[in-house]
């Protein structure tokens, strides 16, 4: 049984990392999200979440971030290889239900794996 933890070392934490990733990474689209991914130089998969002010107010943005993190936490072991991923939320994420967003996340992680 794999542990479903999610620590700081699984996250992207510096602006420079985000910038370099967006320059060189491959991009994947979806109705709700935009993902940028690249092979990591570490021995683990790391994730960064970008939710701009366009999506909504602070409460909405926190909610989206938590949903993305929760999904990543539960499905991390399914991702093969070591990747750096940046998930960028689009505007229409704001109003939608949790289940729909979860489905969209499942979809986009599926695209990244291919």
For residue 82, the number of C-alpha atoms closer than 13 Å in the C-beta half-sphere is 8
Between CA 79 and CA 104 the distance in angstroms is 16
Contact pattern from residue 79 through residue 98 relative to RNA, giving x for each residue in contact according to CB under 7 A and a dash for the rest:
-------x-----------x
**How many helices (H) and strands (E) would you count in the chain?**
3, 4
Q: Is the separation of the CB atoms in 112 and 37 below 8 Å? A: yes
The interface region with RNA, picked from 23-31, 34-42, 69-77, 106-114 by CB under 7 A, is 69-77
Identify which range of 9-17, 27-35, 37-45, 76-84 contacts RNA by CB under 7 A. Answer: 9-17
Smaller CB distance to RNA: residue 49 or 83? 49
25 binds RNA (CB under 7 A): no
Distance of alpha carbon 57 from alpha carbon 44, whole angstroms: 32
Instruction: Say if residues 10 and 46 touch (Cβ distance below 8 Å).
Output: yes
Q: Which is nearer to RNA, 22 or 30 (CB)?
A: 22
Residues lying near RNA in the complex (CB under 7 A):
3-8, 11-15, 18-19, 48-50, 57-59, 62-63, 65-67, 69-70, 73-74, 86, 98-99
């Amino acid at each position: 049984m794999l542990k479903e933890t999610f620590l700081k070392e699984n996250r992207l934490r510096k602006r420079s990392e985000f910038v370099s990733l967006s320059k060189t990474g491959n991009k994947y689209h979806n109705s709700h999200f935009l993902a940028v991914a690249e092979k990591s130089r570490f021995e683990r998969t790391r994730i960064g979440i970008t939710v701009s002010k366009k999506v909504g107010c602070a409460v909405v943005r926190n909610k989206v971030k938590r949903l993305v993190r929760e999904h990543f936490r539960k499905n991390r072991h399914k991702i093969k290889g070591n990747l750096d991923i940046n998930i960028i939320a689009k505007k229409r994420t704001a109003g939608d239900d949790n289940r729909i967003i979860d489905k969209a996340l499942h979809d986009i992680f599926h695209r990244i794996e291919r």
